[in-house]
Chains A and B, each alone.
Chain A
Amino acid sequence: MAVIGIESSAHTFGVGIVENGKVLSNSKAMFKISDRGIIPMEVADHHAENAGKVIADAIDAAGISAGDLEAVGYTKGPGIGPCLRAGQLAGKAVSSSYGIPLFPVNHGIAHIEIAKGMGKMGDPLVVYVSGGNSQILAMERKPFSHYHVYGETFDIGVGNMLDSFARAAKLNPAWGSTVEKEARGGRYIGMPYTVKGMDFAFSGLLTNAVKALGTNRRKDVAFSLQETAFSMICEAAERALLLTGKKEMLACGGVAQSSRLGEMLESVAGSHGIRFYRAPNEFNADNGAMIAMVAEKMLDSGMRREAPTIDQKFRIDRAEIGWEG
């Protein structure tokens, strides 16, 4: 018996199928981002148009029939309202057509859980870095089981910061990776570095980098911006590691695809003799399999069913973890 998951919080409409924690398929349709960024209603239309096809693709690729599905999950939030709405509708449709239960899933939890499962980690410190989110977390059992946020960005997510810079620097999408390519062979120029304990802020860095484009080589600015931002995340993560005494560290979320960030976090972990893991890129980018994985855990653990709502600002530390490990 398999579980299907639908992810639609931003520009990706993803559908994945899992069975006993194993990914059977992971299909997607991505809205092509122009230099105008994400326009919510246009993206929502894209998701609605592609929903049927991507769902059918995922079922095909998994080599199962729709009758084998025993539950469906969708992204409740956080995310862009109209996009979440498209996924919620698709979820409701699948649930009622096949008569299977529907589970609302927190997007961030899904990123963490799929990486945790693939990395075979028990209780890691989590560095969750994406467009809209940048947080350092770990599981906490009291007063209810949830991921406690040890540190996070004061303003924008590191991914959105890289994207905004790339647009200002006239680099092509996909932005995070083009900044990384541009940064190769760059030289360091001074940039503002803002870490407060285990929290950090990126907007000052962004403003400064955009300004620096006028008087410096683009390569050098991209390099310095990236090194500074990632160093800030590493410093906060290292502080959280020492505070929590965790023996494993995990990076997940869209920006965890960055090989440079991976290398730096690996070095932090190595200096404390702990294990570091990041999942293959396909599962760090937004995807449906991660939603399916959490929905399966919710189903198996018999978590109380809740109304199928959406919540654009669904905080990760508000999501109850009703399963073991």
Chain B
Amino acid sequence: MRVLSEGAEAKVYCGRLLGIDAVIKRRERKRYRIAELDSAIRSQRTKSEARMMAAANMGGILAPKVLLVDGFDIYMERVHGRNLASEAAWQENPDRIGKAIEKAGEYLGALHGMDIAHGDFTPANLMIDREGKLWLIDFGLSRATSSVEEKALDLLLMKRSITPQQYRLFIRGYRKGYDGSRMSEERLSEIERRGRYQDRSLAAVK
């Protein structure tokens, strides 16, 4: 199996499952943490991730379909396309990026409407496929929760990753996708006022 990417969370391989192009996400053992905690985290996140992906699909969000869950491995459908965080994607067509970002807002709105917080909602986890459709990937930190705070944190993470103009487009989509948008937006401004995040420098966000 070829390694597609290696994150802090898991290694992603590509392969085939019953004739279908598949991506295998494998949560590897982390030597720094004790075995009990390690397997508890890996097992809980594997199961939860598969559940969240299925829920997102049901909610009309384009997310890879889960083919199989086996131990600490998730086999999922492979998306061919470009990561929204890659520079090439940005330079190619600014207009298309704007549309994609608004669509991303709708996706996050739809997730929040189902009481799911994504947990790592950034351009690195959005992909545009060859037909120009937007996919949301990596539900590794997603959680079923009605917490306004956690929803606001999703907004915060995205806000920190894009320009203010792009964020306006993003919020437009978010409002379209979620009736309760006002609550999370208000909570976001409250979080920003708490100080810890006040003007956290944006310079290093790629």
A: residues with CB less than 8 A from B are 138, 140, 142-143, 146, 148-150, 152-154, 188, 190, 193, 195-197, 199, 227-228, 231, 234-235, 238-239, 241-242, 244, 264-265, 267-268, 271, 313, 315, 317-318
A323 to B8, CA, bound (A): 32
Contact status A149-B200, CB under 8 Å: yes
Contact status A315-B31, CB under 8 Å: no
B: residues with CB less than 8 A from A are 6-9, 30-34, 36-37, 40-41, 119-120, 122, 141, 153, 157, 195-196, 198-201, 203-204
Contact status B32-A264, CB under 8 Å: yes
Which chain B residues border A153 with CB–CB below 8 Å? 196
Apart from the given pairs A188-B37, A234-B30, A267-B32, 9 other A-B contacts in the complex at a CB distance below 8 Å = A140-B203, A142-B203, A149-B201, A150-B204, A196-B141, A227-B37, A239-B7, A242-B8, A271-B31
Given contacts A190-B40, A227-B34, A313-B195, contact A196 B120 (CB under 8 A): yes
* Closest-CB distance, B8 to chain A (whole angstroms): 4
When C-beta atoms are compared, the residue in chain B nearest to A234 turns out to be: B32
A-B contact pairs, 22 of them (CB 8 A): A140-B201, A140-B203, A149-B200, A150-B204, A153-B196, A188-B37, A195-B141, A196-B153, A197-B120, A227-B34, A228-B37, A231-B34, A231-B37, A234-B32, A235-B8, A238-B8, A239-B7, A239-B9, A242-B6, A244-B204, A267-B31, A317-B200
Contact partner of A138 (CB less than 8 A), chosen from B33, B37, B41, B204, is B204
Contact status A231-B32, CB under 8 Å: yes
Which chain B residues border A267 with CB–CB below 8 Å? 31-32
Contact status B33-A231, CB under 8 Å: yes
Which chain A residues border B122 with CB–CB below 8 Å? 197
When C-beta atoms are compared, the residue in chain A nearest to B120 turns out to be: A197
A121 to B178, CA, bound (A): 48
Contact status B141-A193, CB under 8 Å: no
* Closest-CB distance, A212 to chain B (whole angstroms): 15
Contact status A140-B33, CB under 8 Å: no
Contact partner of A265 (CB less than 8 A), chosen from B8, B32, B157, is B32
When C-beta atoms are compared, the residue in chain A nearest to B36 turns out to be: A188
* Closest-CB distance, B195 to chain A (whole angstroms): 6
* Closest-CB distance, B150 to chain A (whole angstroms): 8
Contact status B33-A234, CB under 8 Å: yes
The dominant DSSP class at the A interface is: mixed
Given contacts A197-B141, A234-B33, A239-B7, contact A148 B203 (CB under 8 A): yes
A150, A197, A199, A231, most chain B CB atoms within 10 A: A197
* Closest-CB distance, A73 to chain B (whole angstroms): 23
* Closest-CB distance, A237 to chain B (whole angstroms): 9
Closest 4 CB pairs of A and B: A239-B8, A267-B32, A148-B204, A238-B8
Given contacts A138-B204, A193-B41, contact A152 B32 (CB under 8 A): no
Which chain A residues border B195 with CB–CB below 8 Å? 313
A140 to B201, CA, bound (A): 10
Which chain B residues border A228 with CB–CB below 8 Å? 37
Which chain A residues border B37 with CB–CB below 8 Å? 188, 193, 227-228, 231
Contact partner of A315 (CB less than 8 A), chosen from B30, B40, B198, B203, is B198
Which chain B residues border A265 with CB–CB below 8 Å? 32
A268 to B122, CA, bound (A): 24
A197 to B160, CA, bound (A): 13
B6, B36, B153, B203, most chain A CB atoms within 10 A: B203
Contact status B8-A146, CB under 8 Å: no
A41 to B150, CA, bound (A): 37
Contact status B7-A197, CB under 8 Å: no
A235 to B119, CA, bound (A): 14
A64 to B36, CA, bound (A): 55
Given contacts A143-B203, A150-B204, contact A264 B120 (CB under 8 A): no
Which chain A residues border B120 with CB–CB below 8 Å? 196-197
Given contacts A148-B203, A242-B7, A315-B198, contact A264 B33 (CB under 8 A): yes
Which chain A residues border B157 with CB–CB below 8 Å? 196-197
When C-beta atoms are compared, the residue in chain A nearest to B28 turns out to be: A271
Which chain A residues border B201 with CB–CB below 8 Å? 140, 146, 148-149, 317
Contact status B196-A152, CB under 8 Å: yes
A127 to B121, CA, bound (A): 23
Contact partner of A196 (CB less than 8 A), chosen from B31, B119, B199, is B119
Which chain A residues border B119 with CB–CB below 8 Å? 196-197
* Closest-CB distance, B184 to chain A (whole angstroms): 15
A142 to B202, CA, bound (A): 9
A153 to B40, CA, bound (A): 22
Contact status A154-B203, CB under 8 Å: no
A241 to B7, CA, bound (A): 10
* Closest-CB distance, B149 to chain A (whole angstroms): 9
